[in-house]
């Protein structure tokens, strides 16, 4: 009788401990999830500093939480702390090899850091498995363009534009890349496609102005810069347009 | 006969004088034209340089909204699968649950003291014209 009481008591004690541990773990995960949810909400509201604090608290509680680490990388990127952001995304890919969103974001962060070779390697790796990824094609184009290969960039943007014909930026960037290679005819055609998709795209008119200027067509160039000036909400672009218009009119 | 010779000589002198005057006028006109062209060329070159300076920046996906990076993952955000789909999709899809942001202009320069995150699609260091 005594022995069975001891056994029962021990079993109950063990069960209690296990339950307490489970409850502890359950409530901790609940707290982590709650912090991540709050962090995501603040990220969307643009409060990156507070959002970052929430993800850091989540990581203090659960250092291996891959979502909190990934989201922390987004905040660091948004705050312009690209090196730290890259470290977070890299750690995510090391922790989970197939974590593609972290890999892609690492590529974008590499562009921001000027590590264009690293960025190109990542986007090419994604495209090797998913060649129809419009974002990977587009960002490969950005990397090629910034790396001083506008001819290759034009091809990347062309694929992005073929995959997603309504993607204004793909047409605009292809036009810009063609402009850099000196193919003004192709640049003109693509800039016009971008403007057909978005009649109020100030940068498109600006680029067309530059193309006309290179073609020696001052009047058309002036008219395009005037449109860009009228449509742009950016004071820097507006001021540039004013200066260029004055130069043409001189 | 002597008078005739003098007349021919005078005519030659007159013709030479006219030719000289014409050449001088033409030279002045051409010079002015060349100067005008040079001024025009210099002006268009400056305009061209200004335009090229602005066009060093490419348009990034952030130009259309907060699509620079793949969306956050976790409670209230995307699932890991949905985020991976964003990467693989053959059309631009993102931020379906987030607020659409106004168009950002990549020509915009960072304002000192402003807390807004910088736009990454500028030229890398040392590549500015």
Question: Could you count the other beta carbons within 10 Å of the beta carbon of residue A72?
Answer: 28
Q: Each residue of A196-227: b (16+ CB within 10 Å) or e?
A: ebbeebbbbbbbbbbbbbbeeebeebbbbbbb
Helices (H), chain B: 2-54, 80-88
Size of interface A-B (CB pairs under 8 A): 179
Q: How far is A3 from chain B (nearest CA, A)?
A: 49
Output the pLDDT for position A39: 93
Whether A108 has a pLDDT exceeding 90, the answer reads yes
Q: Give the residue with greater pLDDT, A129 vs B12.
A: A129
Structure tokens at A38: 């709050």
Output the pLDDT for position A248: 87
- Name which of A36, A138, A206 is nearest B54 (Cβ-Cβ): A206
Taken in order A66, A68, A70, A72, the sign of the CA dihedral is: negative
* pLDDT 10s digits, B86-106: 888 887 765 444 332 333 344
Residue B38 — pLDDT band, cuts 50, 70, 90? very low
Q: How far is B21 from chain A (nearest CA, A)?
A: 32
Radius of gyration, alpha carbons of chain A: 27
Range ranked top by mean pLDDT from A3-7, A105-109, A242-246: A105-109
Output the pLDDT for position B52: 82
pTM, entire model:
0.73
* pLDDT 10s digits, A11-46: 777 776 666 666 677 788 889 999 999 999 899 888
Output the pLDDT for position A161: 94
Report the percentage of chain A scoring pLDDT > 70: 96
Output the pLDDT for position A91: 98
For chain A, positions 85-104, list CB contacts with chain B under 8 A: 99-101, 103-104
Q: How far is B113 from chain A (nearest CA, A)?
A: 13
Angle at A226 between CA A225 and CA A231, to 5 degrees: 95
Among candidates A193, A164, A200, A196, which has minimal Cα distance to A176? A193
Say whether residue A71 is in contact with chain B using an 8 A CB cutoff. Answer: yes
Say whether residue A55 is in contact with chain B using an 8 A CB cutoff. Answer: no
Chain A partners within 8 Å of B85 (Cβ): none
User: H or E segment at A139?
Assistant: helix A134-146
Contact by Cβ (8 Å): A73, A56: no
Among candidates A63, A108, A61, A60, which has minimal Cα distance to A86? A108
Lowest mean pLDDT among A226-235, B61-70, B104-113: B104-113
* pLDDT 10s digits, A159-189: 999 999 988 889 999 999 999 999 999 999 9
Q: How far is A19 from chain B (nearest CA, A)?
A: 25
Q: Do B87 and A104 touch (CB under 8 A)?
A: yes
Q: What is the DSSP string of B36-55?
A: HHHHHHHHHHHHHHHHHHHT
Contact by Cβ (8 Å): A175, A187: yes
Report the percentage of chain B scoring pLDDT > 90: 0
Lowest mean pLDDT among A77-81, A98-102, A150-154, A234-238: A234-238
- Name which of B60, B70, B90 is nearest A105 (Cβ-Cβ): B70
Structure tokens at A212: 């006309």
Task: Indicate which of A44, A50, A181 best probes the interface with B, i.e. most B CBs within 10 Å of its own CB.
Answer: A44
Q: Do B51 and A48 touch (CB under 8 A)?
A: no
Q: Do B64 and A169 touch (CB under 8 A)?
A: yes
Q: Give the residue with greater pLDDT, A65 vs B29.
A: A65
């Amino acid at each position: 009788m005594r022995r069975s009481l001891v056994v029962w008591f021990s079993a109950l004690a063990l069960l209690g401990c296990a339950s307490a541990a489970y409850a502890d773990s359950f409530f901790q995960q609940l707290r982590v999830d709650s912090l991540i949810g709050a962090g995501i909400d603040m990220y969307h509201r643009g409060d990156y500093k507070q959002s970052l604090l929430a993800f850091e608290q989540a990581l203090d509680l659960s250092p291996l939480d891959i979502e909190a680490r990934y989201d922390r990388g987004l905040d660091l990127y948004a705050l312009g702390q690209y090196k730290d952001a890259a470290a977070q995304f890299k750690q995510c890919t090391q922790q989970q090899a197939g974590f593609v969103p972290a890999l892609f974001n690492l590529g974008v962060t590499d562009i921001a850091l000027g590590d264009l070779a690293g960025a190109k390697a990542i986007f090419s790796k994604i495209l090797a498995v998913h060649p129809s990824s419009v974002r990977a094609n587009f960002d490969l184009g950005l990397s090629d363009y910034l790396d001083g290969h506008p001819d290759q960039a034009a091809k990347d943007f062309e694929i992005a534009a073929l995959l997603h014909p309504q993607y204004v930026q793909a047409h605009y960037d292809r036009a810009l890349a063609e402009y850099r290679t000196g193919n003004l005819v192709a640049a003109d055609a693509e800039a016009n496609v971008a403007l057909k998709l978005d009649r109020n795209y100030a940068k498109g008119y600006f680029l067309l102005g530059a193309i006309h200027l290179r073609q020696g067509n001052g009047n058309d160039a002036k008219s395009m810069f005037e449109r860009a000036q009228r449509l742009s909400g950016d004071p820097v672009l507006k001021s540039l347009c004013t200066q260029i218009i004055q130069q043409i009119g001189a | 006969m002597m008078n005739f010779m003098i007349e021919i000589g005078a005519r030659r002198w007159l013709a030479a004088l006219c030719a000289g005057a014409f050449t001088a006028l033409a030279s002045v006109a051409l010079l002015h034209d060349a100067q005008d062209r040079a001024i025009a060329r210099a002006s268009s070159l400056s305009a061209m340089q200004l335009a090229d300076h602005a066009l060093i920046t490419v348009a990034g996906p952030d130009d259309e909204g907060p699509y620079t990076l793949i969306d956050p993952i976790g409670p209230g955000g995307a699932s890991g699968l949905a985020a991976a789909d964003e990467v693989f999709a053959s059309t631009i899809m993102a931020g379906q649950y987030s607020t659409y942001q106004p168009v950002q202009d990549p020509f915009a320069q960072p304002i000192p003291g402003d807390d807004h995150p910088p736009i990454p699609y500028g030229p890398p260091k040392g590549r500015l014209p």
